[in-house]
Structure 1
Amino acid sequence: MSSIPPPRADAGSAEADLALLRGVLDAAPTRVCVVSRDRRYLYVNRDFADFAGRPAETILGLTTRELVGEAVAAQLDPHADRALAGEVVTIEGWIDYRRNGRRFIAWTFTPFAGPLGAALAEAGRGPEQPHGAFILFMRDLTESKQREEEAAANRDRLRAILEGVADGVNIVGADARLVLANAGFLRMYDFPPELGRPGTPLADFVRNRLHRADLRPDEDPAAAEEALVQARVAAIMARPPGRWEEARPDGRVIEGRTERLPDGTLVNTYSDLTLRREAERARRASRDALRRHERLSAIASLLGGVAHEINNPLAVVAAQSLLLAEEAEGTPMAARAEKVRLAAERCGRIVASLLASARQKPPKRDRVDMADAVEAGLDLVAEVAQAAGILVTTEIAPGLPPIRGDADQLAHLVGNLVGNARAALAGQARDAPPAIRVRLQEVAKGLELRVEDNGPGVPPALRERIFDPFFTTRQDGGGTGIGLALCRTIAKAHGGSIAVEAAPGGGAAFVVRLPVAGPGR
């Protein structure tokens, strides 16, 4: 009460001081009362009387127990005793009033003595003695406390909900400090639990990632750490609302969504899309496999008709070549006639193997000398290529181990690849003469067949599609799109693979890898 001037000595002045004090306290936006040592009300202001629901003059002289009841008075008495002993006591808490129910009050108990205190004591018929009274200031904070508790309960509910969400969630204040982070977010980025405490600077999260060498593609590993930290924090805080993606070092794909509140707070959610992307790839692969199956079925139907049409004249060629070989026996034409006969027989076997390949029937599992299969395949196409002015060379390593499979299908694979190279070289203007090189060598766990040309090559974007059935890069109906698809079918049926890559010096290189036959196989 140091702000109240000391009273003057005359009685009139004391009355004036009391009137002034009452006026000030009645206007104060808080409840004020003066209570004597024997717990009687000496003075109450207007706000206190309104809260009590009684005129002020009917309260004066009552004890605290008579007004508020035994329970409330007993709860406040220990603090009143401390004030009467000369201590200023400030407390706050919930209390249950008989009339007003449960309220959250902030109390200040202040010792009150001296001449003005004596005058108040006399006016209230209380005893006059040092610290014979105390002033009690009460501020009712119930509504603000209820709002605060409701907000805390909402935060707890929100945290409980977010902890049960598998996705990651964090809220970052405009001051770049963490407001909230759920376990899903910490787990997704391998952050330790202590970083999830509210108030953690965003920079601490960035440093943690940098210490684990978890850099973004656009960040320079040689840059100073603090420079990286400040740059990334600035980028995060400036991130516009919307969706974004991040590829993690372990191959996971994280999709983030950012919302910005009016006060600058960022609400970020994170979803792991890895399994979804893998499922999408699996679905695409399944659809592609179904399309390939449908196309191969169409090939089988097509080749069935072709085989029917070819087999009849081919039978005539085979029969006539046999007769020709017999008639030419012992003459200079005998060798040529024999070649015609053998070629006719091989054509018959190739038609049969094409049908088996298109229908995805298992190939024969004979022991095959791949060098012989290469030579047989070249016999079918080499002369045509050489007649077109194309130089065909072969490099076959000696002593190659055998493989298991169908010799006719493998010969067809070789002939088809060489024929494909010949078609790629047809009509191409170049500085060097057109050339095809066929190489067969042993590599780790198998044999490698390479058919290289110095033609235009295959663009990277088409190197996978070129093996799809009916896909062709030739113009004006120059290709059916079947040959390379069958080559892949034959390679896979023999446990191998086929791919296309750039040949040294330009052109295309088709690479076939086949497993060798193991001991006893």
Structure 2
Amino acid sequence: MSSTPLPNPEAMPDAGPDGGPDAGADVALLRGVLDSAPARVCVVSRDRRYIYVNREFAEFAQRPVEEILGMRTRDLVGEEVAGRLDPHGDRALAGDVVNIEGWIDYRRNGRRFIAWTFTPFRTVAGRRDAFILFMRDLTDQKLREEEAEANRTQLRAILEGIADGVNIVGPDARLVLANPGFLRMYGFPPQLGAPGTPLADFIRHRLRRAELRPEEDPCEPEEALVLRRVADIMTRPPGRLEETRPDGTVIELRTERLPDGTLVNTYSDLTLRRDAERARRASRDALRRNERLSAIASLLAGVAHEINNPLAVVAAQSLLLAEEAEGTPLAERAEKVRRAAERCGRIVASLLASARQKPPKREKVDLRAAVATGLDLTAEVAREAGIEFATDIPPDLPGIRGDADQLAHLVGNLVGNARAALAGTAPQPGWRPRILVRLRAMSDAVELRVADNGPGIPPELRERVFDPFFTTKPDGEGTGVGLSLCRTIAKAHGGSICVEEIPGGGAALVVRLPRPA
């Protein structure tokens, strides 16, 4: 393509007064500069004809320079483009410098984003008969900007819609971005989510809500705590950690560090997941307990079968003995044997019902009588072993509803458990083994307490002692069934059983049974 002729040198500001060789050299230099410029440049006369175009302009127009010069602008760019640009050319002819940019549709080049500068062009005589038009094609840059903005908009929409928290902290310890999920998760006000917020402001907000870490001293000055936390966060290595908030919420924090030191943090609320895991563990534990109780039921069914046959003989013989001894000094003893045989039968049936978790009978029960029945044999055995045995049973206890035989069995088991604990205790000077059975009325329940001054139960075993087949006794001396059945009976009556520590040593097994509404 041939060089573009410039307008009359006398019209150029740098032309010499005589239009001599110096002016020609300046014109040639200017033409070379304009032809090498990455922008499109043209000079348009008042009647809208091209009087100069540089090489970049001609290449964009896809026409030779000679063809463009003298052509009307409308003929080159079309009526629509010319009509849009002409008003700005008029302002340049009036002496204004006009800068505009925007999208425009060219007939040959399609849609482009252009930055235009309209500059007045003065002749030597001072007349403004033309204007210079500089055009920079920013299409690629604008497309990248629009794509980046679209990506940012999409990212903002995603971050605002997710429940997880996200924030980005720059190397200067200032917020770059925080989504609503992060602000909600920690209860931060919306204004803290503004870009540029210092990380220290978030920490101050938490400190003023008394959200201290376990190792932090509440008496330490606030700003010292803030500076230490900011330093900890900004130097924290990438990875995961969990935080339990004061309200019990469990949050998992994942941190990534970019090469420039920027931190990308994501926060997930694990509370529901942890609750679900606990529920699954509880379900598995309940299943195991049910399996163990089923094994107990099978065991007791076999035991009941083996015991019931000789027990029936004992019961029959005791009845005959009571009849024959009637009116003799042995009558009272024979009657006690008969009653004991009948109670043995009821205890076997009660054990079997408890192990199978059958609902107890719902009859009005005199708890004083049920406890007395349970103590009938066990208390005497305890006294024979040298154990001091005491009861504290008030006469005006309210009645409850339940199964008297099961409750008597519960009392017998608790006393037997206390007696076994004392039997394994080494004697100490001035120490005497003691068991206390106490009943007392509460506002909504009746409490049964069986306490001993033995070695006690370690805290880590106070729940396990109620597990089926768990025992602390030596091999061959315990089955681990008694306390498990006690809990089963207590729960079947709508109550509870627990272990309480006694000051000075020993343990108390406490049963609470609800009073009728």
1:151 alignment partner in structure 2: 148
Structure 2 counterpart of 1:485, which letter?
A: S
Alignment of 1:315 with 2:324, yes or no, is no
Segments of structure 2 that go 5 or more residues without pairing to the other structure are 1-11
Correspondence for 1:358 among 355, 358, 361: 355
1:49 alignment partner in structure 2: 58
Task: Give distance in 2, aligned partners of 1:130 and 1:276.
Answer: 81
1:498 alignment partner in structure 2: 497
Structure 1 counterpart of 2:43, which letter?
A: V
2:401 alignment partner in structure 1: 404
Structure 2 counterpart of 1:460, which letter?
A: P
Task: Give distance in 1, aligned partners of 2:128 and 2:15.
Answer: 17
Structure 2 counterpart of 1:488, which letter?
A: R
Deviations along 1:43-78, whole A, 9 cap, x unmatched? 333322322233434433333323322222222222
Task: Give distance in 2, aligned partners of 1:85 and 1:234.
Answer: 61
Decide which moves more: 275-284 or 140-149: 275-284
2:460 alignment partner in structure 1: 461
Correspondence for 1:255 among 248, 252, 257: 252
1:124 alignment partner in structure 2: none
CA change 1:174–1:39 in 2 (3 A) is farther
Alignment of 1:105 with 2:143, yes or no, is no
Secondary structure of 2:361's counterpart equals coil
Task: Give distance in 2, aligned partners of 1:77 and 1:365.
Answer: 102
Decide which moves more: 204-213 or 150-159: 204-213
2:388 alignment partner in structure 1: 391
Secondary structure of 2:293's counterpart equals helix
Q: What CA RMSD, in Å, does the superposition of the two structures yield over aligned residues?
A: 2.9
1:471 alignment partner in structure 2: 470
Alignment of 1:65 with 2:74, yes or no, is yes
Task: Give distance in 1, aligned partners of 2:224 and 2:94.
Answer: 60
Task: Give distance in 2, aligned partners of 1:293 and 1:360.
Answer: 9
Structure 2 counterpart of 1:12, which letter?
A: P
Alignment of 1:19 with 2:28, yes or no, is yes
Alignment of 1:304 with 2:312, yes or no, is no
Deviations along 1:210-234, whole A, 9 cap, x unmatched? 5555555555555555555554444
CA change 1:420–1:5 in 2 (3 A) is farther
Task: Give distance in 2, aligned partners of 1:309 and 1:412.
Answer: 20
Q: TM-score, normalised by structure 2?
A: 0.87
Secondary structure of 2:104's counterpart equals strand
2:3 alignment partner in structure 1: none
Alignment of 1:9 with 2:6, yes or no, is no
Is the 2:14–2:23 Cα contact (8 Å) retained in structure 1? no
Deviations along 1:89-125, whole A, 9 cap, x unmatched? 2222112222221111222223332xxx54xxxxxxx
CA change 1:61–1:369 in 2 (3 A) is same
Deviations along 1:233-265, whole A, 9 cap, x unmatched? 444444433333333444333333333333434
CA change 1:70–1:222 in 2 (3 A) is farther
Secondary structure of 2:88's counterpart equals helix
Task: Give distance in 1, aligned partners of 2:204 and 2:50.
Answer: 63
Structure 1 counterpart of 2:142, which letter?
A: K
CA change 1:159–1:497 in 2 (3 A) is same
2:512 alignment partner in structure 1: 513
1:482 alignment partner in structure 2: 481
- What's the CA shift for 1:465? 2.5
Structure 1 counterpart of 2:352, which letter?
A: L
CA change 1:217–1:137 in 2 (3 A) is farther
Is the 1:367–1:517 Cα contact (8 Å) retained in structure 2? no
Correspondence for 1:89 among 82, 90, 98: 98
Structure 1 counterpart of 2:82, which letter?
A: A
Task: Give distance in 2, aligned partners of 1:224 and 1:107.
Answer: 59
Task: Give distance in 2, aligned partners of 1:317 and 1:517.
Answer: 38
Alignment of 1:131 with 2:139, yes or no, is no
Decide which moves more: 402-411 or 53-62: 53-62
1:121 alignment partner in structure 2: none
Decide which moves more: 391-400 or 423-432: 423-432
Structure 2 counterpart of 1:346, which letter?
A: R
Alignment of 1:76 with 2:75, yes or no, is no
Is the 1:401–1:517 Cα contact (8 Å) retained in structure 2? no
Task: Give distance in 1, aligned partners of 2:71 and 2:55.
Answer: 16
Correspondence for 1:37 among 46, 63, 67: 46
Deviations along 1:452-492, whole A, 9 cap, x unmatched? 22233223333223212222222313221211111011111
Secondary structure of 1:83's counterpart equals helix
Is the 1:368–1:404 Cα contact (8 Å) retained in structure 2? yes
Task: Give distance in 1, aligned partners of 2:33 and 2:285.
Answer: 88
Deviations along 1:13-57, whole A, 9 cap, x unmatched? 211221222222233332233333333333333322322233434
Task: Give distance in 2, aligned partners of 1:79 and 1:317.
Answer: 123
Alignment of 1:429-448 (within 5 A): 429=426, 431=428, 432-448=431-447
CA change 1:492–1:166 in 2 (3 A) is same
Task: Give distance in 2, aligned partners of 1:49 and 1:210.
Answer: 67
Deviations along 1:173-223, whole A, 9 cap, x unmatched? 444444444444444444455554555544454455555555555555555
Segments of structure 1 that go 5 or more residues without pairing to the other structure are 119-127
Identical-pair percentage? 77
- What's the CA shift for 1:355? 1.4
Is the 1:296–1:359 Cα contact (8 Å) retained in structure 2? yes
Alignment size in residue pairs: 503
Task: Give distance in 1, aligned partners of 2:86 and 2:191.
Answer: 44
- What's the CA shift for 1:416? 0.3
Is the 1:167–1:270 Cα contact (8 Å) retained in structure 2? yes
Task: Give distance in 1, aligned partners of 2:423 and 2:173.
Answer: 66
Is the 1:41–1:59 Cα contact (8 Å) retained in structure 2? yes
Secondary structure of 2:516's counterpart equals coil
CA change 1:93–1:228 in 2 (3 A) is farther
Secondary structure of 2:357's counterpart equals coil
- What's the CA shift for 1:150? 0.7
Is the 1:373–1:411 Cα contact (8 Å) retained in structure 2? yes
Structure 2 counterpart of 1:247, which letter?
A: T
Task: Give distance in 2, aligned partners of 1:386 and 1:88.
Answer: 116
Deviations along 1:302-340, whole A, 9 cap, x unmatched? 111111222233333334444555566666655544433
Secondary structure of 1:96's counterpart equals strand
